Amino acid sequence: MQKDIFSEQTPGLPHQSFDSRGLTPEAAFDGWRSAVAPVFDVAPVHPDQPFAATYDTYHLGDMLVGLGTFGPTTFTRSREKSRIDGIDYLLVQVYTSGGYSGHLDDRPITVQPMEPVTLDMAREARTVSLASSNITVLIPRDLVKSRVFPHGHMNVGLRGAALGGLLADHLVALARSLPTMPLSAGAAAASATLAMYEAALDPAEALQQAGTEPFREALFQRARRFIDDRIGSGKIDIASLASELGLSRSSLYRMFEPYRGVESFITDRRLAHARKALTDPHDIRRIGIIAAACGFDDHSSFSRLFKRRYGVTPAELRSRGRLARPGDSQEVFDLQSWIADVT
């Protein structure tokens, strides 16, 4: 069943819940698929067997915390999905039972209970889980001071084992307290979780696991910030971007090859900024004004590019009544609106 458990009489955290009990096996997995679709594409490992899942999400202001239980599931996040949905998050994850194996990018991974993992939502993941329970924390990348993130285990080496273990314990304690946590404590809990996560990050361990990947990732994030800072300034100068990064043009172009080129990436960032403005209930600017502010001079071209990326025109997105905000009444589990809220 799906239920709305927002309550004006309960001063707790904004909370959404999905529970497959009472649903047919097919409807149970369809509900689970819909619940996690904003982040992963999923498929049942045993489609001929009954499937059960629960998922509770809590909104802590700057981050989202999910508590899930589910049957064996295949999780996939492709580079194309990350390009289309524009979710610029780190997903910090601890399985409290079960676990999974698969590949992150092209590297194999096996995750056991209480092993903290960071999944970079801009990169690929293909995993197969056992029947499991887990805790996930979605953190906007820009909140994290570090610019080097593992895409995989966080508990490698002596430092990683110590601080990763503390992070895992913190997330378990956080999960226990969320159902009764008052709204006024949410921001402090988010700050404590972010501080614990930042303490557990170890660039040296990431370098050991992925060679020069952290350096490339740091350069890429620097490039992204350069682009985002200049979204509203018209044409973004490629030569200035290369100079800012200390790269030649050819090296810059190679870095953006997975994103169909640097110009395409810049367009995607413009569209993402426009989409966020269009789903902001406080932004009452006309669509043409928003398009111009995001660097689009031609309204018809903007509308065409927007629909190609998101499947709807800017006007259609706005006509849907804007995505729900935390605390708004909801009748179904809707993770997408909360992701949009903290992106």
Give the tens place of pLDDT for each residue, 1-19: 444 433 344 478 999 999 9
Mean pLDDT of the chain: 83
Residues 31 and 144 occupy one common structural domain: yes
Model confidence at 90, in pLDDT bands (50, 70, 90)?
A: very high
pLDDT of residue 209: 44
Whether residue 221 is found in the same domain as residue 193:
no
Please state whether 246 falls in left (phi above 0), alpha (psi between -120 and 50) or beta.
left
CATH number for 147: 2.60.120.10
Same domain membership, residue 97 and residue 120: yes
- 49: containing domain: 2-202
> Cα dist. 22→30, 61, 198, 341 in Å?
13, 32, 41, 31
C-alpha Rg value of the chain to the nearest Å = 20
52 and 73 both lie in a single domain: yes
The one-letter amino acid code at 125 reads: A
Q: Is 205 within 8 Å of 156 (Cβ atoms)?
A: yes
Residue 325 falls within a domain, yes or no? Answer: no
pLDDT of residue 282: 84
pLDDT of residue 9: 47
Residues 101 and 10 in one domain: yes
Taking residues 109-126, report their average pLDDT. Answer: 94
Asked whether residue 343 is assigned to any structural domain, the reply reads: no
Query: What's the rounded mean pLDDT across residues 24-35?
Result: 88
